[in-house]
Amino acid sequence: MSAELLQTATRWAADDPDPATAAELTALIDKASAGDAQALAELTDAFDGTLQFGTAGLRGRLGPGTNRMNRVVVARAAAGLAAYLRSRGGTSIVVGYDARRNSEVFAHDTAQIMAGAGLSAMVLPHALPTPVTAFAIHFLGTDAAVMVTASHNPPDDNGYKVYLGDGSQIVPPADAAISACIARAGPVKEIPRSAGYEVLDNGVVDAYVARCVELLAPGPRDIGAVYTAMHGVGGEVFMRAARGAGFPAPHPVAAQFDPDGRFPTVHFPNPEEPGAMDMAVADALTYGADIIIANDPDADRLSAGIPVADGYRMLTGDEVGALLGWWIVERMRASGEPMLGTLGQSIVSGTLLQRIAEDAGLGYAATLTGFKWISRVPALVYGYEEALGYCVDPRHVTDKDGISAALLMMEMTAQLKTQGRGIQDVLDRLAERFGLHVTSQVSARVSDVSLIADAMRRLRANPPTSLGGSAVVDVVDLEKGCDGLPPTDGLRFSMERARVIIRPSGTEPKLKCYLQVVVPVDGDLAAARTTADAEMTALRTGVSEALALG
């Protein structure tokens, strides 16, 4: 072990206010010093750079070291954010947290440091969904908010999400400015703290639930739903909102309802992952549910499932995104409201929403990936991204919200049920009117991250002339900017009736490819589905071959 690593780790242990991680680090140092190769590798990785603060805030594995999520990293982040806010005249902040390991500790550390810096700091009363924190910044009128969560990351992760006064997650240049303030933070023991912060009562939660209920229009509520909280914090708030809106109590997946940061019944706490929805589907079969509703662990995402001939199928994020857009337009028409505002989505999402917006005479906008961009669309009335994120009430929650979106899906289902129709019927009618839009993904994970940059360079220098048997008619380098969007690392390939976007993941060592096929429906929807499936299969094969990552 190098003298520099030993010195850095020893100094860190001495500065760590958490006896658990300090002891963990001391034991690791002792083992590495005694020649334990595994301990040395872990110690080296723990101090291999600094966990970077960016537009997603902080997110990483729990444990000691500069490259982990722990009380030292969080304290420095809080001190930096406090300095940033004060330099811009900020005076107040609200802090929320989920049920992951150390989330509550990180939240109260943050509040102490904010109060020590002279800011008015408020902490939500217990572990709650991310949308409640996003709502709180508007409801309380604070200059910023912090949400301690790692969303649907693995159990050993945690994170630190920051919102500023407009209620949206941070974007450049605020991320760089906050990061610079964090870099200037001194030793943790020298950061001022104060117990003079407020732990809020349930008033914010009550107001959030009331707003969710208020969002729904009067109408039928007679449906049966199965709900899973995925071991997260959405359960109680969702059930309150569903009851308040007049729905029969949804059937909870009991084994996944209570918050549990170990996520014991799922391999990966993400509704999109294989096997994650098995318990919910089994319960839906038992109860004959009209819809399956799932939130991810911090309840900012929604997954929905519907009955089909041989059981249930989970809808894709693009299907839910288009359905909610259609339903919001239908509600506007039914209410007699002026057809004003904009429907927004990320550029990697399917384009059916654009057709719905144009048909309704509404504005349409495509943004870079992430709700930090979608939420900033002017006159936004609804926005979504294919990764199960939906913003159905942007005036009150300027971020994705899996609970209010779930209620709108239930409202839609109940209304359709009175007409003898279901959600699949709506998808079929949309396909007949606007073409069958089929989307899919190809992800290529690598062990050597340099392979990702190499692949992007190769694709830029020598782009494929065809994909899946279809000629590429247009190539757009998103790094040069397009359609008025800021530059981002990505490539868009267009074929006659298909589109592929390839971009590096922002959080994982992999390339992500977003595929879409649009097939006209000329009176025979079944034939169009067969054609679309064949074209998508060929496109997936073509994209995999073009990546050539081995």
Domain ranges of the chain: 49-200, 205-314, 318-432, 435-547
Give this prediction's pTM. Answer: 0.95
The pair of three-digit structure tokens given for residue 113, joined into one six-digit string: 């440091």
Q: Which CATH superfamily is domain 435-547 in?
A: Alpha-D-phosphohexomutase, C-terminal domain (3.30.310.50)
Residues making up the chain, counted from first to last: 550
**H helices present in 288-419, as ranges:** 317-335, 352-360, 371-374, 402-418
What's residue 338's pLDDT? Answer: 87
Classify domain 49-200 by CATH number: 3.40.120.10
Q: Name the residue among 470, 466, 446 with its Cα closest to residue 456.
A: 446
Q: Which two tokens stand for residue 440?
A: 């899919």
Rounded distance between C-alpha atoms, residue 397 and residue 299, angstroms: 13
* Cβ neighbours, 10 Å, residue 341: 20
**Do 318-432 and 435-547 have matching folds?**
no
Q: Where are the alpha helices (DSSP H) in 88-173?
A: 103-116, 130-140
- State how far the alpha carbon of 115 is from the alpha carbons of 196, 423, 428, in Å: 6, 49, 55
Report pLDDT for 238: 98
The whole-number pLDDT of residue 450 equals 85
Taking the chain (550 residues) in consecutive chunks of 10 residues, what is each chunk's mean pLDDT? 88 92 94 92 92 84 95 97 98 98 98 98 98 98 98 93 94 94 94 98 98 97 98 98 98 98 94 95 98 98 96 97 98 91 97 98 96 96 97 97 98 98 98 98 85 92 95 96 90 97 83 96 96 97 85
Structure tokens at 270: 């993400």
Partners of 59 in the beta sheet? 159
Position 337 scores a pLDDT of 81
Peptide bond connecting 172 to the previous residue in cis, omega within 30 degrees of 0? no
Residue from 92, 103, 151, 349 carrying the catalytic annotation? 151
Of 432, 438, 512, 502, residue with least CA distance to 472: 502
Predicted local confidence at residue 507, as pLDDT: 66
Is residue 357 within 8 Å of 364, Cβ to Cβ? Answer: yes
Catalytic site includes residue 151? yes
pLDDT at residue 447, rounded to an integer: 80
Arch. (CATH architecture) of 205-314: 3-Layer(aba) Sandwich (3.40)
Query: Of the candidates 394, 222, 403, 416, which has an alpha carbon nearest to the alpha carbon of residue 326?
Result: 416
CATH number given to 318-432: 3.40.120.10
- pLDDT at 449 (0 to 100): 81
